[in-house]
Structure 1
Amino acid sequence: MITITILLFISFQVRIVPHAGTSVRNVTAAPSAAPTAATPRRDPRVVLTRDLYVAGHEQPHPELCPALGAHLRLLILVTSAPSHSIARDAVRLTWGHYAARRDVALAFVLGSPQESMRAALEAEDALYGDLVIGRSFDSYSNLTLKTLSMLEWADTYCPRVPRLLKTDDDMFINVPRLLRFVSTHENVTRTIWGKVVRKSLPKRTMKSKYYVSPLQFPGKVFPDFATGPAYLLTSDAIRPLLEAAPNEPYLRLEDVFITGVLGARLGMKRQHVAEFYNKKVAAHPCAVQRGIAIHMVQYHEQFDLWRKLLDGKTKCAS
């Protein structure tokens, strides 16, 4: 029986959330092996990512990436919560249409849902066939686990795709402009592009949504990182990130952990791209057409931005 873990980040206790038919119990994280002369002693309060991540996917849909991605230019994986069906529909009906191209693939990546959500998700997946569901319980504190599930899927089923865009279901993506960006950076390796934040300080107050315990990240300044709403990776960055993650203390801020902590440890380039707005912007046709990624887009706003992206009347300065 595969269990699904969720991190309670303050107490560092692991709650095991099993599949139907098993009981729920609370346990603490498993202790590490006894230290040797060559191995520094690990603080027993520190939870490593390997203590929490559960590999594998339910109905992984390898057909979404034909020939392991050999004929694709771009793979778009959209992280989504099980209950966000209306947001997924908005993406499918607007910018997600570009997945109809033979050189673009798109899927939604979810964590394991509550049992009450399973029937609805099964019906949605039967209709669209684009839901990739990981084994770790879906929650805000588990966003890092969801992103690792996304990287695992790409590495397993689409390893030959040259570029991966990680984005969220409240984003509007200007796919034509993104494809032009991809074309002008074809020979770049081991790079993450996006809205790069530099010299950001960890939030140490437990009242903050972005609280980080010193046990999760002891440093005073985060490494440079690309913000999580949308960032683009070269495919050769995916496996090294997956291999480096298990031995690092679990950090629930997925963008800081994946693109910052791991990216810095691996010596990957984190490059700022102004077109990754990763914020809400004025819904003017020129702003939409110039950008790559717009954040905080509600269901009904996707259709307005889609119309403005396709607007053929407004004259925009280059």
Structure 2
Amino acid sequence: MPSKVSCLYLLTVVCWASALWYLSISRPTSTYVGHMAVPKRRIVKPSKNITFTNIRTRPLNPHTFEFIINEPKKCESITPFLVILISTTHKEFDARQAIRETWGDENTFSDIRILTIFLLGWNTDAVLNQMVEQESQIFHDIVVENFIDSYHNLTLKTLMGLRWVATFCPKAQYVMKTDSDIFVNMDNLIYKLLKPTTKPRRRYFTGYVIYGGPIRDMRSKWYMPRDVYPESKYPPFCSGTGYVFSADVAELIYKTSLHTRLLHLEDVYVGLCLRKLGIHPYQNNGFNHWKMAYSLCRYRRVITVHQISPEEMHRIWNDMSSKKHLRC
């Protein structure tokens, strides 16, 4: 009878043989070399063009939206003096048509080229989207990206307009951003403010400048949470009802926005981008961001007036056009 030591020795040999046999059938034969090889850790070398600077400047707002209605060839054969970007909503067809027939008419001035572009997002109502698509096919003055069209996305709508100018109309001299309930005195805008016979400005931005701070009351339309904007004051910004800037600023603001935390208050957000760019907006009292009772002489002195209905727009335009000979 074998001793206990011999039995233990035989048991150990059998265990090792079994382990080796298991390893030989559970690993590819091409890599098995008769012992348990510990795989080397794969070291991923950083790409040469990755730097700390690149990491810091990754877009906060990459603006990955796509144009679903576009007019990319609108500036191919012309260099407009002024591009007018008008923020609107799907149901405001009457307002858009009133603008087309009055101050937004691209053929108002025989010697100055003006482009009118209406800005919209994507509506959750498929019927409204289809109606806007048909309107676009008729007038060719609508641009739409695939973000949801809402009050809180007004900033995206303006950025879309700036992107459009920078991409498809970079040689324009000036840009105006306004809303569909604004009446614009085009004579004052063109001849008194922008003055086509003078040298085009650069890094220029003007409108009704507001110096204010965030409203912390949650019931307010303009509520700004402290964790979104902790500062007690906003940088100077122009009322979103109407402001004008040199076309080079369109690309500057758009590129700056890619690295600036998004705010839903569109005009405040543009002011933040201007501060980063070191561009200070000029005050112009001709831009009115409130409702002003109509008077021919009063409206002759301004550039914009707020809260104008389509019916009022026609009446004011016709009055001012037919009574140019009257003195105030």
Which bracket does the TM-score occupy, shorter chain normalised?
0.7 to 0.9
Partner in structure 2 of residue 74 of structure 1: 82
In the alignment, residue 111 of structure 1 is paired with which amino acid?
A: G
Check the 8 A contact 2:69/2:145 in 1, yes or no.
no
8 A Cα contact 1:64 1:107, kept in partner: no
Q: Deviations over 1:171-197 (max 9, x none)?
A: 011112111111176443212110001
Change (3 A) 1:186 1:174: farther
Aligned to 2:296: 285
Give the whole-Å Cα distance in 2 for the aligned partners of 1:60 and 1:112.
13
Show the counterpart of 2:97.
89
User: For the structure 1 residues 138 and 247, does the alpha-carbon distance in structure 2 shift closer, same or farther, using more than 3 Å as the test?
Assistant: same
1:27 corresponds in structure 2 to none
Q: Check the 8 A contact 1:177/1:292 in 2, yes or no.
A: yes
Preserved contact between residue 174 and residue 309 of structure 1 (Cα < 8 Å): no
The secondary structure found in structure 2 opposite 1:309 is helix
TM-score with structure 1 length normalisation? 0.79
Percent identity (aligned): 29
In the TM superposition, 1:31-70 aligns within 5 A as 48-50=60-62, 53-67=63-77, 70=79
Structure-2 change in CA distance of 1:267 and 1:203 (3 Å):
same
SS at 2:145's partner residue? strand
Shift of 1:100: 5.2
Displacement of 1:61 after TM fit? 1.0
Cα contact 1:286–1:314 (8 A) shared by 2: no
Runs of 5+ consecutive residues of structure 2 not aligned to the other structure: 1-51
Q: Name the larger-Rg structure.
A: 2
Unaligned runs of 5+ in 1: 1-37
- Give the Cα–Cα distance (whole angstroms) in 1 for the partners of residues 152 and 213 of structure 2: 19
One-letter code of the match for 2:85? Answer: L
Residue of structure 2 equivalent to 1:144: 155
Q: Tell me, yes or no, if structure 1 residue 215 matches structure 2 residue 230.
A: no
| Alpha-carbon separation, structure 2, partners of 1:261 and 1:84 | 29
1:265 Cα deviation after fit: 1.1
TM-superposed deviation, 1:116: 2.8
Deviation at 1:99, TM superposition (A): 4.3
**Matched positions, count:** 269
Helix, strand or coil for the counterpart of 2:146? Answer: strand
Q: CA deviation at 1:164?
A: 0.2
Q: 1:193 aligns with which of 206, 222, 231?
A: 206
- Per-residue CA deviation, residues 230-287 of structure 1 (Å, 9 max, x unaligned), is 10011111111111112222100000101x1110111012001111112211210111
* Alignment check: 8 A CA contact 1:165 1:230 kept: yes
| Residues 1:128 and 1:98: Cα distance change in structure 2 (over 3 Å) | closer
Counterpart in 2 of 1:119? 130
Larger strand percent: 1
1:276 aligns with 2:318: no
* 1:167 and 1:228 in contact (8 A); partners too: yes
Alignment check: 8 A CA contact 1:49 1:250 kept:
yes
**1:131 Cα shift?**
1.0
User: Quick one: which amino acid aligns to residue 165 of structure 1?
Assistant: M
The answer to whether the aligner puts 1:309 opposite 2:320 as a matched pair is: yes
Rate the CA distance shift 1:132–1:315 in 2: closer, same or farther, 3 A.
same
Contact between 1:144 and 1:253, CA under 8 Å: does it hold in 2? yes
